[in-house]
Structure 1
Amino acid sequence: MGNRATSVDEQIDLLKCRGMRIDDEEKAKEHLLDIGYYRLGFYWHYLQVDGTHDFIPGVCLEDVIRFYYFDVDLRNLLGKYLYRIEVHFRTQIVYHVSNHYQDSPTWFNDARVVRNDIISKLPIIYNDKFKINNKPIRDHHAKYINDIYAPAWKTLEFFTFGQMFRLFKSLKEDSVKKEIASVYEIRDIEVLKNHILALINIRNICSHSGVLFDYNQPVGIKRIPDRRYRLKTRNQTNLNASIRLILFVLSKVSENRGDELLESLKVLIDGVRGHVVIEKIINEHIAFDISEIN
């Protein structure tokens, strides 16, 4: 589209000129004004002839819209269960570390427990806005006016997934980290770190409305210890690998929720079966094989 803003009528003319079939122009205007030409371009990019802006013969705008909503539905579905995993991971850290250091309720600020690089950043996170915006923290400081920080079980409820991960990595005592890893039936701390970082990457895509279907992890997902969810291919970075990881970790949080997500994914995928254009892209970029999981 270049560097000049275009009207929705010009956008439709351009799409038709490049070979896209548009059966209902009024509906097309509605889609373009709702979702936007630029965002839809993330999806029709894969329906264009290599090296050009021309569309593969037979592509229609409804294919793109259906594909877009498949990605949205997938993002919403995974986001729901990733939040469940985030809460569980936070709970394990708070429980295991707090009980290991019962004499240090604010252990996240204790140099015996965590590295100084975490402690030095706490004032940036735990600032006046943090204390005002989070009622339990605000109430704590109103009651205990001399406390610098509220106890871990209050404070860490308001840390992000990424902040909790950095806190976990910062723990000095490996035995505590191994306790947490064992909850997920993982023996190697490095494997848990790899897995949690991969989950955070996917959750960030889901939380910020990114394009999910073609996401590849920057680092391959390490071996999943449960054979049911273990990767069947050498591709350790594509979305299929991430979904198998989500299913594995979720199954350790709740076996029922893991099975629930698996069935929901199968229903979602079955919903686009038969749409040749969409199915081709999904097979090439996601390479779903979760139908093999029983």
Structure 2
Amino acid sequence: MGKFAIPIPEQIKKFESRGLSLDCYSEDKLKEILLDIGYYRLGYYCHPFIDKKTDKFKENIKISDIVTLYYLDSDLKHLLLKYINRIEVNFRTKVIYYTSMKYKEDPKWFVNRNVMNTRFIKDFDKIYNVKFKTDNLTIKKHHKKHPNDDFAPVWKTFEYLTLGAVITAYANIKNEDIRIRISNCYQIRDLDKFMRLIHTVRQMRNICAHGAVLFDFHLPQSINSIPQITFNKGDRNSVDACIKVISFFTKCISTNRHADIEEEVGCANLADSTS
């Protein structure tokens, strides 16, 4: 038989039956927390506190410990988004600028088969559809003013692409020198290493922007080792390693913003505090 939804009083009793201390929280406060976060979602943050052998909470674990972890995770995601957004805008700008300077005569080079791989152009039609042209104001205005244009110029179009889509566009530029010129802006000449690093930023962006659980995230593939980043204890898969990548990109963009992220996140100490 499948599981069914249970009311909040039963949710509270279920926590207690597994040995969780409800400490100083009143019943009204517990209801408020469960209606705010949700029983199922809060369960993601219980895992570090549960004894795997008994499936019960470890000794002396309080619900406030779980709630604290939840808000730490939430605050960290909001904080990282500020720096990830800076990286996203910077990277998009460089892809637009350096490629456009190479192909000055074609402001729609992203659908030019001499510039881009054919597969990308075919797939791009799925992005640049009727909905894309009507939902995005600048694009909508462009096509109203220029009804015969199939596409708006790259500096308009790419503003509405996701970071993942911009990375895909970058990877499909045929001219390797352009891709290297862009990666060199971030002190990386090896394109494979650069792609792994920028994809790490993308993965972190998706987690932070969509409210997924961050604190125990592990990359399926290790981040490439590069001289510019010192990973704690050689760990190249954890959240701490991902934050170091974000910090690295930020340093390439702005020394002031790099100082900010180092101060606000405390990259050097994160691994010890979450282990």
TM-score when scaled to structure 1? 0.88
Q: Deviations over 1:225-246 (max 9, x none)?
A: 42xx322422211111101110
- Deviation of the 1:53 alpha carbon: 2.5
Q: Distance in 1 between matches of 2:226 and 2:244?
A: 9
Q: Distance in 1 between matches of 2:154 and 2:93?
A: 11
Q: Distance in 1 between matches of 2:204 and 2:222?
A: 13
Paired residues for 1:61-72 under 5 Å:
61-72=63-74
Aligned to 2:185: 183
Aligned to 2:84: 82
After alignment, is 20-29 or 168-177 more displaced?
20-29
The residue identity in structure 2 corresponding to 1:248 is F
Q: For residue 158 of structure 2, give the secondary structure of its aligned residue in structure 1.
A: helix
Aligned to 1:118: 120
Give the share of equivalent positions with the same residue, in percent: 37
Displacement over 4 Å in runs of 4+? none
Q: For residue 29 of structure 2, give the secondary structure of its aligned residue in structure 1.
A: helix
* Cα distance, 1:225–1:95 mapped onto 2, change above 3 Å: farther
The residue identity in structure 2 corresponding to 1:112 is N
Q: CA RMSD in A?
A: 1.7
- Deviation of the 1:52 alpha carbon: 2.9
Paired residues for 1:132-281 under 5 Å:
132-226=134-228, 229-266=229-266
Q: Deviations over 1:26-60 (max 9, x none)?
A: 21121111101111110112101113321101001
Q: Distance in 1 between matches of 2:80 and 2:91?
A: 16
| 8 Å CA contact 1:168, 1:177 repeated in 2 | yes
| 8 Å CA contact 1:186, 1:225 repeated in 2 | no
Aligned to 1:107: 109
Q: Deviations over 1:161-190 (max 9, x none)?
A: 000011011010100001101110111111
Q: Distance in 2 between matches of 1:135 and 1:41?
A: 40
| 8 Å CA contact 1:224, 1:231 repeated in 2 | no
- Deviation of the 1:133 alpha carbon: 1.5
Q: Distance in 1 between matches of 2:232 and 2:59?
A: 34
Q: Deviations over 1:190-215 (max 9, x none)?
A: 11101011110111100110000111
TM-score when scaled to structure 2? 0.94
| 8 Å CA contact 1:115, 1:172 repeated in 2 | yes
**Structure 1, unaligned stretches of length 5 or more?**
271-278, 285-294
Q: For residue 218 of structure 1, give the secondary structure of its aligned residue in structure 2.
A: coil
Aligned to 2:7: 7
Q: Distance in 1 between matches of 2:43 and 2:140?
A: 45
Q: Distance in 2 between matches of 1:52 and 1:259?
A: 45
Q: Tell me the matched-pair count.
A: 271
| 8 Å CA contact 1:107, 1:113 repeated in 2 | yes
Q: For residue 68 of structure 1, give the secondary structure of its aligned residue in structure 2.
A: helix
- Deviation of the 1:17 alpha carbon: 1.4
- Deviation of the 1:261 alpha carbon: 1.0
The residue identity in structure 1 corresponding to 2:14 is L
